[in-house]
Structure 1
Amino acid sequence: MTWIVPPFDRVDEPFVADERAMLEGFLDFNRATLLRKCAGLTADQLAMRPLAVSSLSLLGLVRHLAEVERTWFRRRFAGQALGPLHARDDVPEAAFELVDPATAQDDVATLLAEQQAGREAIAGLGLEATFASPRWGTMSLRWVLNHMNSEYARHNGHADLLREHIDGATGV
């Protein structure tokens, strides 16, 4: 039986809320948007690279964003000693370059798990909470949430284009 990406519900971000609820609401909306772009596709379709000049695929985006979730929320912000998911010294863009339809179901499950683990890693922390980045210095949770929203928004634009080239589907 061929695995098909299941449908995903998406809840609108709050229209009136405090800053934290709004930032997290937009992030959850953006997280669900990527998964909705993947819904209904087979693993082979998910791994397709429909743009000849690019290594981008929806599966690559799923893998990349799982890595980004883990890196910012768990490794950097919460200080959890976790290795990377897909990064390899010999393949700098491994999340995109080494996609395999055989791992698509696990890759989607990993993204969902990393999203939940990210929520848990920052639960109860104020937006002013910080961590020390060896590269950039002190960084706040407010910055990380804004960065993650922009990361998903940028890649959701890529997902729009990829999905339209795969099967003509537009919108979410």
Structure 2
Amino acid sequence: GDSADKHAQELQSIREAHAKFSAAHGKHAKDLEALKALHAHHATLGERIDYLEQSLGDSADKHANELASLKAQQARHSEALAKSTKDAGVALAHHATVGERLDYVEKLLGDSADKHMQEIQALRSAQGQQAKDVAATKEAHAKLASDSKMQQATHMSTAERLDLLEARLKHCFSA
């Protein structure tokens, strides 16, 4: 995104510089023609040729330097763009598609729902067993309570019987 935009801006900047270069070159050519016309009246042919050779040489050197600079910049931009393209390709290759990601999420949810259902069933089963155990414990408690009451009743009647026997024995011995 940002890298591609940056490269696009830099390419546009190079194009604009190249357009300026072409315009400057055209202007220099026109200026040179104008100078030729002016010097035709003032200078000798040798002087005019020397002047033109110097002007063209300087201009050509300047343009050659600018062109070399532009080519170097363009090469750097091309390398950066190639690297960005490669990096983007690698990144895209490592990213899962939306469909793959959705399939993965659905699988996780399905597995999770199945696991939760099994846990709920296990808890219900354990709760049912616990309810049976509680009922059995209540029943055993009730039986123990009943047995205890019967024993208390039996013990009381034994105590009463013992009291009765003692009373009779006392009565027998006292008479």
More helix by share: 2
Global fold match (TM > 0.5): no
More strand by share: 1
- Which one has the largest radius of gyration? 2
The normalised TM-score by structure 2 is 0.29
